[in-house]
Amino acid sequence: GQSLEQPSEVTAVEGAIVQINCTYQTSGFYGLSWYQQHDGGAPTFLSYNGLDGLEETGRFSSFLSRSDSYGYLLLQELQMKDSASYFCAVPQYNQAGTALIFGKGTTLSVSS
Amino acid sequence: NAGVTQTPKFRVLKTGQSMTLLCAQDMNHEYMYWYRQDPGMGLRLIHYSVGEGTTAKGEVPDGYNVSRLKKQNFLLGLESAAPSQTSVYFCASSWTGPEQYFGPGTRLTVT
């Protein structure tokens, strides 16, 4: 089966840096995706790590360590608009095709 | 491009009633997915499709059926709605599994 663990809540102030961790237990691992969801909105794709290491996209970076079954999303220069829920997800490949299994999400609250 | 659209946006059903949720995408994606989202539970996969005419069960398929008669459309049916199916339903589409594009959601209440 698949299991992803991430903190339920994280708080930070504007301008700070925050790291959202995700640990996983999966039968077959191919990579780690991250999604952002603002309250009441649709999830939007942020990044995908298929290989170990750091992927940087503007203020957001994502890291993966397969040997530690661990990844994180790093948000820099936090802004109020970054207040949202963040989900890690792993692709699951089988005979029926490809699906994503999501963690339960981390709610980030950014204050001024 | 509209991306992924969902119809309806809101719906209230009585226990035992049936309904169909429609998802449409204009990106020519092969993969389409239905998720439900409940407070504190994240996104849980109901059913998915890897191409026209194909469907597969996800994590929580019971009480739902799906059909993909056309590549651009993916329908989710509730044959006999139950209060436990009160949720927000999201449709998504994708070229590859890891990067998915989501619709705006359908908020369903079953009384």
Q: Min CA distance, A9 vs chain B (Å)?
A: 11
Sign for the pseudo-dihedral over CA of A27, A32, A36, A42: negative
Q: Min CA distance, B105 vs chain A (Å)?
A: 7
Give, for A98, the enclosing helix (H) or strand (E): strand A97-102
Angle among Cα A95, B20, B108 to the nearest 5 degrees reads: 100
Return the structure tokens found at A58. 């503007």
Q: Would you call the peptide bond into B8 cis, given omega within 30 degrees of 0 as the criterion?
A: yes
Contact A97 B54 (CB under 8 A): yes
pLDDT class of A94 with cuts at 50, 70, 90: confident
What is the residue-averaged pLDDT of chain A? 93
Q: What gap in Å lies between CA B18 and CA B32, rounded to an integer?
A: 22
pLDDT above 90 for B104: yes
Check residue A2 and give its pLDDT.
76
Among candidate residues A26, A30, A24, A20, the one with its CA nearest the CA of residue A83: A20
Which residue out of B27, B32, B43, B88 would a mutagenesis test of the A interface target, given it has the greatest number of A Cβ atoms within 10 Å? B43
Task: Please tell me if residue A100 touches chain B, with a CB cutoff of 8 Å.
Answer: yes
Check residue A30 and give its pLDDT.
87
All residues of chain B having their beta carbon less than 8 Å from the beta carbon of residue A31 are: 98
- 3-state per-residue secondary structure call for chain B: CCCEEEECCEEEECCCCCEEEEEEECCCCCEEEEEEEECCCEEEEEEEEEECCEEEECCCCCCCEEECCCCCEEEEEECCCCHHHCEEEEEEEECCCCCCEECCCEEEEEC
pLDDT tens digits for A37-73?
999 899 999 999 999 999 998 999 999 999 999 999 9
pLDDT class of A27 with cuts at 50, 70, 90: confident
pLDDT above 90 for B4: yes
B78, burial (CB in 10 Å: exposed 0-12, middle 13-18, buried 19+):
buried
Q: Are the C-beta atoms of A97 and B31 separated by less than 8 Å?
A: yes
pLDDT class of A102 with cuts at 50, 70, 90: very high
pLDDT tens digits for B27-71?
999 999 999 999 888 899 999 999 999 999 999 999 999 999 999
Q: Min CA distance, B33 vs chain A (Å)?
A: 8
All residues of chain A having their beta carbon less than 8 Å from the beta carbon of residue B99 are: 33, 45, 48
All residues of chain B having their beta carbon less than 8 Å from the beta carbon of residue A48 are: 98-99
pLDDT above 70 for A96: no
pLDDT above 80 for A95: no
Nearest-by-Cβ selection for B99 from A48, A92, A99: A48
Task: Please tell me if residue A28 touches chain B, with a CB cutoff of 8 Å.
Answer: no
